[in-house]
Structure 1
Amino acid sequence: MSSQVRGGTRWKRFALVMVPSIAATAAVGVGLAQGALAASFSVSGQDFKVSADKLDGENLIQYGGIAEGHDLKGNAQHHPVTISGFSNAKITNMCQSLVTPTPLGNITLQLKTGHKGTPAEASNIYLDVAELDTDAEFTNLDIGVAVGDPSHKTKPQAGTVASPYAFSQRADRAVLTNVKQKAWATTAGTFKLPNLKLRLLGGDQPCYQDIKD
């Protein structure tokens, strides 16, 4: 995000613009999927990083998708993503960061929650994930189930356009530990963020550094 600055940085405006998008996100998403899907909303020109010690989610559904949006200069972009949905999820020691360019240099918006013994909780949560590194454990995993199969306990994201026969996978439970991910968007029915800490930091100070293969 860039803005003209005269006589100083408009920190209050910067925070008001960025907080809503960053407060409604969490860490989740595993595996690979295929399909031709499109979300009902466009994404911003920036992805964000999320880390967490643990995510414990119920009724996973996962399938491939395309996040459509524009870069910061207005050029159209299409981002392949894995859409991961849970009916309920608990996230322990979550950190989320977004590095934003300004005329005075990069600024990092960093959010931390669920770090004092009470995890963050979300219901009906869906994430458009671009990259994920984690240790994962699934309970009652089914791979290759059609997106439109009526037996999915968590239904595909509302507004998603796709063939009901596209590839997906599901599990009764998924436990992810040592989570590091990049995502383009998240939606949730409810999201509780205990002991929320929001900070604006100078320079590049993401929740984690990029992992080298």
Structure 2
Amino acid sequence: MMVPATALAGAIVFGMANGAIAASFAVSGQTFKVGASKLEGDGFKQYGGFVREKDGTAHPVAVSEITSAELYDLCQSVKVPDMPIVLTINAGGGGKPATAKGLLIDMDSLGGDATFENIKIGRDATDLNSGATPKSFGQSADHVTIIGVEQVTRSTSAAIFTLNGLKLKVNMGKDAKECF
């Protein structure tokens, strides 16, 4: 009995690590900001979805999957509600980008100058991820480059996320500025 259960658990972990199965968790309900001077990614997929808070509150999101990504001059900021406090994380500077494998982003918005290689727009989202809503809109590209990334996000997960040159700081008062 242990062998099939162990094999199933191993297959699930392997699928999550390779981006085939999304890690599922309740979101906080609070957004955070992610900025980068440049994102380079291979294996790009995007489609609509929903994330849920513990109390069941649903938020519509754009889901982006990227098989492997490099993020230059990464900045992530989270503002503490109703207080002049912002937590910031910086990484990927000095020409040594932050990297991610199996990156999954649930976002409210994304801005920047984007270039897609071999893009396919209007695909059925279930062709991109079996957990997506049937007959819903999806798009994919072999490679994406986004210059001046400004993203408002609800959740991010990755099989591996390497933050080269990591700097985490709690900023208070007049220094409590978000990434953008």
Task: Please give the TM-score of this superposition, normalised by the length of structure 2.
Answer: 0.80
Cα RMSD after superposing both structures: 2.0
Residue 106 of structure 2 is aligned with which of 105, 128, 136?
A: 128
The alignment status of 1:193 with 2:163, answered yes or no, reads yes
Deviations 1:63-105 (A, max 9, x none): 00111116xxxx6532211000011000000000001147xx3
Residues 12-91 of structure 1: matches in 2 within 5 Å? 40-69=24-53, 76-91=56-71
CA contact (8 A) 1:39 1:161 kept: no
- Cα distance in 2 for residues equivalent to 1:81 and 1:128: 6
**Structure 2: distance between partners of 1:196 and 1:40:** 26
The number of equivalent residue pairs is 157
Residue type at the aligned position of 2:32: F
Q: Output the amino acid matched with 2:27.
A: V
1:57 and 1:101 map into 2 onto residues whose CA distance is: 32
Equivalent pair of 2:115/2:144 in contact (CA under 8 Å) = yes
Ranges in structure 1 where 5+ consecutive residues have no aligned partner: 1-37, 209-213
- Please list every run of 5 or more consecutive structure 2 residues that lacks an aligned counterpart in the other structure: 1-21
Q: Does 1:205 align with 2:164?
A: no
Structure 1 residues 127, 192: CA separation in 2 closer, same or farther (over 3 Å shift)? same
Match in the other structure for 2:120: 142
Matched, 1:167 2:137: yes
After superposition, give the CA deviation of every residue in 1:141-183 in whole Å (9 maximum; x if it has no partner): 001112232xx5xxx3xxx743444321000001000111100
Amino acid at match of 1:144: G
Aligned in 2, Cα 1:163/1:206: closer, same or farther, shift over 3 Å? closer
Asked if the contact 1:125/1:189 (under 8 Å) is kept, the reply is yes
Matched residues in 2 for 1:91 and 1:66: separation? 25
In 1, the alpha carbon distance for the partners of 2:87 and 2:117 equals: 35
Q: Distance in 2 between matches of 1:206 and 1:163?
A: 33
Which one of the candidate residues 94, 102, 115 is aligned to 2:93? 115
Q: Does the residue aligned with 2:80 lie in a helix, a strand or coil? A: strand
The answer as to whether partners of 1:39 and 1:67 remain within 8 angstroms in 2 is no
What is the distance in 2 between the residues matched to 1:182 and 1:172?
24
Larger fraction in helix: 2
Q: What CA deviation, in whole Å up to 9, does each residue of 1:38-76 have, x standing for no partner? A: 983221021100110000000101000111116xxxx65
Contact 2:116 2:142 in 1 (8 A): yes
